[in-house]
Amino acid sequence: RAYDDAIEEPLSNWTKLTDQLGGDVAAVKPKVLAIFDSLRNYLWTAAGKPEPSAEEAQKMLSPIINLLGEINNFKETKRKTPQWNHLNSIAEALPALGWLTVKKTPAPHVKEYIEAAQFYINPILREFKDTDPRHVEWTKAWKAIFEEMQKFVRQVHTTGLVWNSAPGSVPDASSSAPVAAPAPKAPGGPGGPPPPPPPPPADFFANIAPPPVDTDKSNR
């Protein structure tokens, strides 16, 4: 419920602006929405079971990892698109979801990738500030998703992802709010989820959308 409260509005705002811009950002939008659905499903699972083994946790993260790879691959095929910086800002920010695996201080991990995305947001602001403010609003909406996520992580998962130490119970059951949140969405559609892919390597976020190197600035 806390995740929904934090993310739903900014994600909806970004979705509307993405539809307005169209092009390649609209083409990649379904994968971006799917990755946030997968994140929500992971949090739903964590709220109902104890922390699993590292191998099981990696299998559970496979939908997120696979989508990160697909989004990054899509970006790489669009090097000549006028929305190249938009796609890069997407690809740079999404590994922030790796906070799920960060112990002790996960919130700064999210901030790190907000800053990485800013490298590509800045050229968008320069190009469209005076010609098409929709692009400026789009960048603000994209950053807002992760800024709200950082707040959510800092408040709810301060020292790492919270698993349910008492399976069968609902966290925060003493709250006066309704304890049930909407059920997670099945990634496999009406036919059910597909078989899980092989577990990813332990450093699965390490090689996906790394922060840009300084030498790239010469091309801006």
CA distance 8 to 20: 19
DSSP 8-state assignment for residue 57: H
Q: Dump pLDDT digits (tens) for 133-150.
A: 999 999 999 999 999 999
Write down the mean pLDDT value for the chain: 82
**Residue 10 pLDDT:** 97
CB 194 within 8 A of CB 188: yes
User: By three-state DSSP, how is residue 95 classified?
Assistant: helix
Q: What is the pLDDT of residue 183?
A: 53
User: How far, in whole angstroms, is CA 112 from its chain's centroid?
Assistant: 13
Per-residue pLDDT of 46-89, as tens digits, reads 999 999 998 999 899 999 999 999 999 999 999 999 999 999 99
Q: What are 116's two structure tokens?
A: 């990485």
**Of 9, 8, 39, the residue nearest 161 (C-alpha):** 39
The model's pTM is 0.78
Query: From CA 91, how far away is CA 68, in angstroms rounded?
Result: 8
Q: pLDDT value at position 40?
A: 95
Residue 2 pLDDT: 92
Tell me, what's the pLDDT at 165?
79
pLDDT at 192: 41
Q: What is the mean pLDDT of residues 147-175?
A: 79
- Separation CA 98–CA 55 (nearest Å): 16
DSSP 138: H
Could you give the CA distance from residue 121 to residue 85 in angstroms, rounded to a whole number? Answer: 7
Predicted confidence band of residue 22 (pLDDT cuts 50, 70, 90): very high
Question: In the prediction, which pLDDT does 166 show?
Answer: 73
Q: Assign 167 a pLDDT band (cuts: 50, 70, 90).
A: low
pLDDT at residue 174, as a whole number = 36
b vs e for 86-104, b when ≥16 Cβ sit within 10 Å of the residue's Cβ? bbbbbbbbbbbbbbbbbee
∠ Cα 160 162 188 (to 5°): 105
pLDDT band at 111; cut points 50, 70, 90: very high
- Using the predicted structure, report yes or no on whether residue 185 has a pLDDT greater than 60: no
Percent of all residues in the chain with a pLDDT value above 90, rounded to a whole number = 70
pLDDT confidence bin for 12, thresholds 50/70/90: very high
Residue pair 12/126 in contact by the 8 Å Cβ criterion: no
